[in-house]
Amino acid sequence: MPHSSIYRTLCAAAVALCAATGAVAQSAPNVIDEVIWVVGDEAILRSDVEKARAMSDRIQGNPYCVIPERLAIQKLFIHQAQADSVEVTDDQVSQLVEEQLNEWIQMATSREKLEEYRGMSITQIREELTEQIRNMQLTRMMRQRLTQDIKVTPAEVRYYFRDMPEDSLPLIPTQVEVEIIADHPRFRQEEIDRIKERLRDYTERINSGEATFAMLAKMYSDDKESARQGGEMDYMGRMELDPAFANVAWSLNDPKKVSKIVESQFGYHIIQLVDKRGDKLKLRHLLLRPHVEQADIEACTARLDSIAADIRAGKFAFEVAATELSDDKDSRANRGLMTNVTRDEMSGDYIRTSRFKMGELPTEIARVVETLDVGEVSKAFTMLDKSGKEQCAIIKLKSRIKAHPATITEDFQVLANIVRERRCDEFIDNWIREKQRTTYVRISPDWLPDCEFQYPGWVKE
């Protein structure tokens, strides 16, 4: 179940080259691992370098120089994080691991394909990815802590870009602000009753021993991803799950029992406990989604088309209708204005803005936006919401800011971020050089080719 681009390059490269990873492992099955670098009290192994090499196809320079240096820099950050008691929670790591693992699976087309390419089980891949992401998160958080007090003033921003030619300024792509009124087609009560009756029947068959939960999930669950595993989900924390689903799941104690029917944003479920590990549960679930009749979809779009007509006629404002009538909880409290939430990779902070690049909008909305003039209200259309349910919507294009070179008046924050990022890079560069001077570093003589390191201080005179 559902949520960073700091990991996206890693994931894309890993999927593209996961066959190579398996080839590395198979080509030298009898090679004994060895310590090639020591940074402080942390070792870098030959296998660490080989894994990183297999997972990246964009290394400029000798990988046996570039990769150990990257790992050594990471060790410096992790050591400092430990000294400063900076920690990453298991829930944070688990969420990111599942996001990236799901992305790998989508790119590989299936879990089985991914396992075949990597020559590893999903559990083994997850364990390896967990360590990598934990280290990357610690590095990011430590960098954030080191640079958190760096600020830039408007005067510094103006000075930095003062003499820069216009064609050298960053290009701001077209951005739009969009308001939305959404409505879900109503499920008919007889359809809900039918779904619940099916789930009660499955529960009886499991309790009587006529069938296993795993078999029924494989045959009937609408969650096709977990269905392939007999409905089994991996260990997850409570905050990673839909609240209604989690409330029922955390009430389970007996792995032989099946939960009561629970309604979540995804549909209706029955759940079975598989195992507990600390604050995480491994569960099976069987999901059924009620079917929406075409007549109900047409009735929903007709309702919204009627609302749109009244807005165009000036009977009431779009913003008023959105506040009173929309069932899109993310925008309703904002008078229908959609909010774009992105994560700043430098600070780790979440940034909220009403502006979207076209590629950041849901596909169906972007397609409609392309046809609208500013201030125009669309016809009703259908789309999938975040939970995969069909919904009807009308939108209003509030503003369109065409692509343009960045200016201080219009795009100050973009330019300020560029200046701050440069200052942070300079600070971190100096920090690494200072750490080199005060940290024990040993490099195996057999692992020191003619390297031109970014930071020459690794090699002590």
Q: Which two tokens stand for residue 132?
A: 């990598």
Of 402, 426, 449, the position where a domain reaches its end is 402
Pair 215, 302 in one domain:
no
Residue 419 forms part of a structural domain: no
Do residues 52 and 74 share a domain? Answer: yes
- At 343 the pLDDT is 67
Q: How far apart, in whole angstroms, are the C-alpha atoms of residue 71 and residue 69?
A: 5
Beta bridge partners of 442: 38
Last residue of a domain, one of 233, 259, 288: 288
Same domain, 273 and 309: no
Write the Ramachandran bin of 263: left for phi over 0, alpha for psi from -120 to 50, otherwise beta.
beta
In this structure, the answer to whether residues 322 and 179 fall within a common structural domain is yes
Asked if residue 451 belongs to a domain, the reply is no
Cα torsion angle, 26, 32, 33, 38, sign: negative
Query: Do residues 13 and 143 share a domain?
Result: yes
96 and 27 in a single domain? The answer is: yes
Question: Does residue 412 lie within any of the structural domains?
Answer: no
Q: End of a domain among 355, 370, 402?
A: 402
Q: Is residue 196 part of a domain?
A: yes
The domain tally of the chain equals 3
CATH classification of the domain holding 279: 3.10.50.40
Indicate whether 57 and 130 sit together in one domain.
yes
What pLDDT, on the 0 to 100 scale, is given for residue 19? 35
129 lies in a domain?
A: yes
In a domain, 417, yes or no: no
Domain extent, residue 219, equals 189-288
- Residue 280 and residue 336 in one domain: no
Alpha helices in 348-459 (DSSP H): 363-369, 412-438
The pLDDT value recorded for residue 449 is: 67
Q: Please tell me the predicted confidence (pLDDT) of residue 56.
A: 67
In sequence order, the 6+-apart residues with CB closer than 8 A to the CB of 86 are: 80, 138, 141, 142, 145
Measured in whole angstroms, the distance separating CA 395 from the mean position of its chain's CA atoms is: 26
pLDDT at 11: 39
Question: DSSP 3-state assignment of 167?
Answer: helix
199 with 284, same domain: the answer is yes
Beta strands in 79-199 (DSSP E): 171-172, 175-183
pLDDT in tens, 304-340: 999 999 999 999 999 999 999 998 888 999 999 999 9
Q: Is the model's pTM score more than 0.75?
A: no
Positions in the chain short of pLDDT 70:
1-32, 55-57, 343-350, 449, 461
Tens digit of each residue's pLDDT (9 = 90 or more) over 299-312:
999 999 999 999 99
Dihedrals φ, ψ of 372, to 5°?
-100, 145
Which residues neighbour 251 within 8 Å (Cβ) at sequence distance 6 or greater?
259
Distance CA 198, CA 145 (A): 53
The CA distance from 187 to 174, in Å, is 38
Helix, strand or coil for residue 173? coil
- 343 is a domain residue: yes
* Whether residues 178 and 314 fall in one domain: yes
Residues 179 and 312 in one domain: yes
Q: Do the domain assignments include residue 92?
A: yes
Q: What is the pLDDT of residue 162?
A: 87
* Cα distance between residue 251 and residue 61, in whole Å: 55
Q: For residue 107, what pLDDT is reported?
A: 82
